[in-house]
Chains A and B, each alone.
Chain A
Amino acid sequence: AQSVAQPEDQVNVAEGNPLTVKCTYSVSGNPYLFWYVQYPNRGLQFLLKYITGDNLVKGSYGFEAEFNKSQTSFHLKKPSALVSDSALYFCAVRDDGNTGKLIFGQGTTLQVKP
């Protein structure tokens, strides 16, 4: 069965510092991976996805993610964090069945302090 794990419940960084939010995955076939962000009392906003190709994926708001097949990881990164990046981040993998559903990790709260 497909699954993703986000090992950190919370990540704290200072504004201006680089940030990393970790995600590891387990799939039976090709991994199709997604990152979403959720601000308080809002729905999920799509940040980026990896389907195939370049291991470094660039997304919205200056975020990028690095796909690493040998480590089965898809960590989200940003070179310089902003206070406004503080939110809940979800990694997800597409299910390998026909539904197209996403299987989500438990989420990581990012706290960026001024």
Chain B
Amino acid sequence: EADIYQTPRYLVIGTGKKITLECSQTMGHDKMYWYQQDPGMELHLIHYSYGVNSTEKGDLSSESTVSRIRTEHFPLTLESARPSHTSQYLCASSEWTSGPGDTQYFGPGTRLTVL
């Protein structure tokens, strides 16, 4: 198992609440990613970061935001949650290399339900 952690594992909240999904890794990886996955479906990239103070949007449009103030920490925030945000959110990290061979390691995921 990779040393990448996500909290909470499960979250049920009401519409309009602000939430932050935590992701931390202890591997010293520069690159970090957030993917969104509907149950049993493929993953879609929503945010990524090359390192501290670097954040970019992914392919799938998302109303969430991210920050990268420390190498090991890459939290995702929803200012006002809606039922359409109900999904599983997976965080991943990989070591920066100049070639294509770096492997992404995934956290256990946060399953979010917005009522």
Query: Which positions in A face B, CB cutoff 8 Å?
Result: 30, 32, 34, 36, 41-46, 49, 51, 88, 90, 94, 99-102, 104-107, 109
Contact = CB atoms under 8 A, between A and B. Distances in A.
Contacts of A45: 1, 106
A32 B100 contact: yes
Contact of B31 (A34, A90, A100, A107): A100
25 contacts: A30-B100, A32-B100, A41-B9, A41-B108, A41-B109, A42-B109, A43-B90, A44-B92, A46-B103, A49-B103, A90-B42, A90-B43, A94-B100, A99-B45, A99-B48, A99-B56, A99-B58, A100-B48, A100-B94, A102-B104, A105-B42, A106-B41, A106-B42, A107-B41, A107-B42
Contacts of A34: 103-104
Interface residues of B, number: 32
Interface of B: 1-2, 4, 6, 9, 31, 33, 40-45, 48, 56, 58-59, 90, 92, 94, 99-109, 111
